[in-house]
Amino acid sequence: MQGTFKEFLDRWELHQPELVAETAQARVWKVRSEHGPAALKLYRGPDRGNEEPGTALLKAWHDRGAVRVLNEERNAVLMEWLEGPSLGDIARAGRPEDAVAILAETAARLHGKATADVDGLKPLNQVVAPLFGCTFAPACPTLLRKDVLSATNLGQHLLISQPMPVPLHGDLHPDNIILTHNGPRVFDAKGYAGDPAFELANALRHPKGMTELVRDPRQIETCLSLYSEAMNVSEKRLAQWAAVKCALSICWRSEGAIENDPEADLLRLFLDVAD
Ligand SMILES: Nc1ncnc2c1ncn2[C@@H]1O[C@H](COP(=O)(O)OP(=O)(O)OP(=O)(O)O)[C@@H](O)[C@H]1O
Ligand SMILES: [Mg+2]
């Protein structure tokens, strides 16, 4: 059964909770614990939904820069508290070059060693599957419809030509990395398995709130170059995954039939560079 906030505070002997984030899926509190300051993430559902394998992966990657997981049970995770700005904060404060460089180094560190053996990771073909079932509302602009269909074809091509699957964070972007005194620390993993070229593709849609920057052709070029080198994958495949992930996000947001989307123009740009 789903545990309550009060129940986890008692069970794990947590004190002085301060709410720090509230999202569609979960709430995060800063708390005091026997291990020192910690972050309690409490999911709204009965369990951690699609993020359960993510915690297993963060544990396997602890010596590569992932947050330390202190406890986990049903719909709750307790992690060490990460003090410092996120890479997203660093970018929004005017240093986007630093943010993308640290993101690339962080990804290289996670993926540099032999792949970790983690059970339950979600295969990329299951992640991408909703794209193959997406439909369009009558008001959907012709160009967006055409671009989503192109991305769907690309997705099919990428899935059948995947190299040996590797564990993937699955949501590796600047707002899921905090720069602490001890270096960058990664959290909020989905835990996927598949093509390493997927790992930083979604990061081309970030940082949050910097819509002009992510559409700047020079920024796209810089990120493709840095991220493909960090992951040791081809720029072309990375750009193709960026288009596919962008279309998938459009599909997720549409809740059934795609009508229009604020990232329709970004999808166009990614398809251009993927060509
Ligand atoms: N261990 C931590 N230390 C410090 N702050 C944290 C920690 N974990 C989460 N946070 C804060 O809480 C915010 C939300 O947490 P998290 O990224 O896990 O959820 P989310 O982005 O809402 O998840 P999702 O992407 O699944 O919707 C983070 O952006 C960060 O500000
Ligand atoms: Mg997050």
Mean pLDDT of 22-35: 95
User: Which has the closest alpha carbon to 246: 152, 160, 168?
Assistant: 152
Given a contact cutoff of 8 angstroms between Cβ atoms, the answer to whether 60 and 118 are in contact is yes
DSSP string, the chain: -PPPHHHHHHHTT-EEEEEEEE-SSEEEEEEEETTEEEEEEEESSSS-GGGHHHHHHHHHTGGGTBPPEEEEETTEEEEEPPPS-BHHHHHHTT-HHHHHHHHHHHHHHHHHSSPP--TTPEEHHHHHHHHHT-EE-TTS-HHHHHHHHHHHHHHHHHHHT--S-EEE-S--SGGGEEEETTEEEE-----EEE-GGGTTTGGGG-STT-HHHHH-HHHHHHHHHHHHHHHT--HHHHHHHHHHHHHHHHHHHHTTEE---TTHHHHHHHHHHH-
Is any ligand 1 atom within 6 A of the Cβ of residue 61? no
Is any ligand 1 atom within 6 A of the Cβ of residue 67? yes
Task: Please give the angle made by the CA atoms of 37, 22 and 106, to the nearest 5 degrees.
Answer: 60
- Would the pLDDT of 152 be above 80? yes
Q: 261 CA distance to ligand 2 centroid (A)? A: 21
> How many CA atoms lie less than 13 Å away from 131 in the CB half-sphere?
26
Q: Which phi-psi region, left, alpha or beta, contains residue 94 (left: φ > 0; alpha: ψ -120 to 50)? A: left
- Would the pLDDT of 53 be above 80? yes
- Going by alpha carbons, the residue nearest to atom 12 of ligand 1 is 21
Alpha carbon distance 151, 171 (integer Å): 19
Q: 156 CA distance to ligand 1 centroid (A)? A: 32
Is any ligand 1 atom within 6 A of the Cβ of residue 20? yes
Under the banding of pLDDT at 50, 70 and 90, the label for residue 45 is confident
Is any ligand 1 atom within 6 A of the Cβ of residue 39? yes
Mean pLDDT of 237-258: 96
- Going by alpha carbons, the residue nearest to atom 14 of ligand 1 is 21
- Going by alpha carbons, the residue nearest to atom 17 of ligand 1 is 188
- Would the pLDDT of 1 be above 80? no
- Going by alpha carbons, the residue nearest to atom 1 of ligand 1 is 81
Mean pLDDT of 67-81: 96
Look at residue 20 in the predicted model and tell me its pLDDT: 97
- Going by alpha carbons, the residue nearest to atom 22 of ligand 1 is 23
Instruction: Starting from the CA of residue 89, give the closest ligand.
Output: 1
pLDDT tens profile 153-204 = 999 999 999 999 999 999 999 999 999 999 999 999 999 999 999 999 999 9
- Would the pLDDT of 2 be above 80? no
Look at residue 258 in the predicted model and tell me its pLDDT: 97
Higher pLDDT, 52 or 9: 9
Q: 176 CA distance to ligand 1 centroid (A)? A: 7
Overall size of the chain counted in residues: 275
- Would the pLDDT of 235 be above 80? yes
Q: Which two tokens stand for residue 66?
A: 């992932």
Look at residue 9 in the predicted model and tell me its pLDDT: 95
Full set of structural domains in the chain with CATH: 5-80 (3.30.200.20), 87-274 (3.90.1200.10)
Q: 160 CA distance to ligand 2 centroid (A)? A: 29
The residue type at 256: G
- Would the pLDDT of 116 be above 80? no
Average pLDDT, the chain: 96
Higher pLDDT, 3 or 192: 192
- Would the pLDDT of 231 be above 90? yes
Given a contact cutoff of 8 angstroms between Cβ atoms, the answer to whether 103 and 64 are in contact is no
- Going by alpha carbons, the residue nearest to atom 13 of ligand 1 is 21
Look at residue 3 in the predicted model and tell me its pLDDT: 80
Q: Which atom number of ligand 1 is nearest to the Cα of residue 24?
A: 27
- Would the pLDDT of 47 be above 90? no
- Would the pLDDT of 274 be above 90? yes
pLDDT above 70 coverage of the chain, percent: 100
Mean pLDDT of 61-80: 96
Given a contact cutoff of 8 angstroms between Cβ atoms, the answer to whether 107 and 198 are in contact is no
pLDDT above 90 coverage of the chain, percent: 91
- Would the pLDDT of 214 be above 90? yes
Count of other CB atoms within 10 angstroms of residue 97: 13
